[in-house]
Structure 1
Amino acid sequence: MPGLMLLRKKYGSSKPLKGARIAGCLHMTVQTAVLIETLLELGASVQWSSCNIFSTQDNAAAAMAKAGVAVYAWKGETDEEYVWCIEQTLFFPDGKPLNLILDDGGDLTNLVHDKYPELLEGIKGISEETTTGVHNLYRMFRKNELKCPAINVNDSVTKSKFDNLYGCRESLVDGIKRATDVMLAGKVAFVAGYGDVGKGCCQSLRSYGARVLVAEIDPINALQVTGRKNPFLTGYPTAVAPVRFVWQHPLRSLRREVDRCLFVVSAYESTDCSSGTKDKLHDTLNALLR
């Protein structure tokens, strides 16, 4: 936040983003609202959708709408509504299309490439802020499918080593406890992946007294697991998706490894990213929990 305030102070008068038509697809929270206000202060035109159907803070979205920003997001969207919301951000009130993309997860980027390729010529650049979306961009680049410049925000040190690690360490248990009202001490948690996100998740769960089991296919990260005194599961399938989500499996067994595993946390950051791999991860972890 201090950085955004400094940008307003330093560049607010010169309006360096004048002429920019930014379509954002990020979590619509109060923090994102500050980002939107900063972009407006710097001269940009902005339209917004959320990158997650459950993450929108309706009060933040309402505040932005009241301020005149076109926000297409609400908590609890259906999958169809989610795609509709993203599509509404592609064209601005004057009929001109977007020329910059702020993305989280790659859904807006993929939508434009797949359904609106005629807009790609006018897009000056994409910024992608999460691991899933970055791997998607690299996959597109390798296949020569990425048709406009893109910035990898996720791998900046202040993102990967701070937000991914400390942000997840703060938010994971908070989200679990708000959703389930379960005491974590003594519970068993299985964390799939031990990158920066996985490290933060493990630290968070262990700090509340949970027994944390970790699976990791990268040998260096796996070695780090053992150094942190987390039990390491071998033979975990490699066909997993670079996504991050949590869901609850009450009192089901983790095959041959866990007797009573309450929570499964996916923090995988695999480079073998392809479309539809989120479903593969669901299937893989569900198979482990049968």
Structure 2
Amino acid sequence: MNALSESNVKDMSLAPSGHLKIDWVKEHMPVLNRIRERFEQEKPFAGLKVSICLHLEAKTAYLAKVIQAGGAEVTITGSNPLSTQDDVAAALVEDGIRVFAKYQIAPDEYKANLIKTLETRPDLIIDDGGEMVTILHGERPDLLPQIRGGAEETTTGIIRLKALEKEGKLQLPMVAVNDAFCKHLFDNRYGTGQSVFDGINRATNLVVAGKTVVVVGYGWCGKGVAMRAKGLGAKVIVTEIDAIKAVEAHMDGFEVMPMIEAAKHGDYFITVTGNRDVIRKEHFAVMKDGAILSNAGHFNVEVNVVELAEASTSRRVVRKDIEEYVMADGRKLYLLAEGRLVNLAAGDGHPAEIMDMTFALQAVGLEYVSKNYQNIGPKVLNVPYELDEMVARYKLEALGIQIDKLTEEQKAYLDSWVE
């Protein structure tokens, strides 16, 4: 493979900056470094091709290099045109990885890059939002037979995979990395919570303290966003459709109300549902002048941008990553990052120490599928608990934290029904 001649990136002269970014995150990803050391010795992906679709920034780039260190021929594309970092893409090409990704490309080129990544005929895939799986099970089923399986990163992707599985159409085993304990407990909660406000603050340069933040959805990502908003001094309102999660939000100290009511109060709106049109025309109609809209779900469908444009009399870019929509009555509503993932489109995504655990799960999850795909069959499967626990143990060791172990008597007690 000639990565340089076969890749499609913006500017190879940007590579030095990309290398610096990758080197920085490597220093803060000790769990993935430990897995890389084993991969370099054992070469679990020797002779295999791996295609990756993830937000193409430095942490993802380092995961690609770890998979490459395991013996794989790696091809990567971005899972969002606004989160690709062109310098990182160029650096990966210099490191021998085939890349099809550019920042801010048109939808047709974005789709073409996904297809090119799959046309390398991979044995394994790492997917984000079910982007590649959807193509494989839709317009390009001819590329399915060679693929052993893969791993999925996001809540949105798991929803799509389980829909395929329910209909009996899923054709390969996919590890639900998103559902692992070391993913949703830390990445979704602490990673999303911090990175969302990193992106919002970078885009707006406005204070959060004293404002009202409306968090739309109280899953693990919503919990993290609400927690960080509270920590920054905001008043927090949560909207939900799930009664159990709504009670949880109430017990966590947040106001809970329908979106049509919350829309009247919010200064910031952050959607984290994985669903579409959770903020739409009836909500725009009652929002305060100056309200700021943002999304932290995978696709740019949670805020209905089409209806926002239809309700406005004018629209302009007022600052990088901020569009101003003027309503008929003169109110101004501001949309961040085109309604795409604000933490990646307007920021650098989750902190490296958080993605260290998630991408460690991706690496070992992919290894597990590669070794066991013939016995697994086409289904969505959880990350085996022993791999989840191993990643947590490596993390504790990296932090210099020790924990207790059960004595033999305690083990026997827990295994017995006799007191």
Scaled by the length of structure 2, the TM-score of the pair is 0.59
Could you say what secondary structure the match of 1:213 adopts? strand
Match for residue 225 of structure 1?
249
Measured in 1, the distance between the counterparts of 2:218 and 2:115 equals: 35
The aligned counterpart of 2:137 is: 113
Distance 1:282 1:40 in 2: 39
- Is the CA contact 2:196–2:296 (under 8 Å) kept in the aligned structure 1? no
Matched residue SS, 1:199: helix
Give the match's secondary structure for 2:45: coil
Change (3 A) 1:25 1:253: closer
Structure showing greater Rg: 2
2:191 is aligned with 1:162: no
After superposition, residues 47-126 of structure 1 pair within 5 angstroms as 47-92=75-120, 97-126=121-150
One-letter code of the match for 1:155? D
Task: Provide closer, same or farther for how the CA distance between residues 140 and 281 of structure 1 changes in structure 2, counting only shifts above 3 A.
Answer: farther
Distance in 2 separating the partners of 1:235 and 1:8: 46
Cα shift readout 1:228-247 (whole Å, capped 9, x = no counterpart): 221111377xxx961599x9
The CA RMSD measured in Å over matched residues stands at 3.2
Distance apart, 1:278 and its partner CA = 6.0
Cα separation, 2, equivalents of 1:235 and 1:3:
41
Checking the alignment, whether the CA contact within 8 Å between 2:218 and 2:245 is kept in structure 1 is yes
Report what 1:9 is aligned to.
Answer: 37
Q: What is the one-letter code of the residue matched to 2:46?
A: K
CA distance, structure 2, for counterparts of residue 264 and residue 63 of structure 1? 34
Q: Write the distance in 1 (CA, Å) between the matches of 2:252 and 2:296.
A: 17
Q: Answer yes or no: is 1:184 the counterpart of 2:203.
A: no
SS class of match (2:56):
coil
Q: Quote the Cα distance in structure 2 between the aligned partners of 1:268 and 1:288.
A: 23
Is 2:189–2:221's contact at 8 Å kept on the other side of the alignment? yes
Structure 2: state its 5+ residue gaps: 1-28, 261-271, 313-326, 328-419
1:23 partner amino acid:
S
Q: Scaled by the length of structure 1, what TM-score is found?
A: 0.83
Conserved? CA contact 1:188–1:260, under 8 Å:
no
For 1:242, the equivalent position in structure 2 comes to 274
* Separation in structure 2 between the aligned mates of residue 105 and residue 63 of structure 1, nearest angstrom: 25
| Equivalent pairs, count | 272
Specify every segment of 5 or more residues in structure 1 that has no aligned partner in the other structure, as ranges: 270-276
Aligned to 2:219, which of 190, 195, 206? 195
1:31 to 28, 42, 59: 59
Contact (CA 8 Å) 1:129, 1:153: kept in 2 or not?
yes
Paired residue for 1:135, among 148, 159, 168? 159
Q: Secondary structure at the match of 2:42?
A: coil
**Paired-residue identity, %:** 33
Distance in 1 (alpha carbons) for counterparts of 2:59 and 2:259: 40
d(CA) in 2 for partners of 1:34, 1:280: 30
Shift of 1:152: 0.4
Shift of residue 266, structure 1, vs aligned partner: 4.8
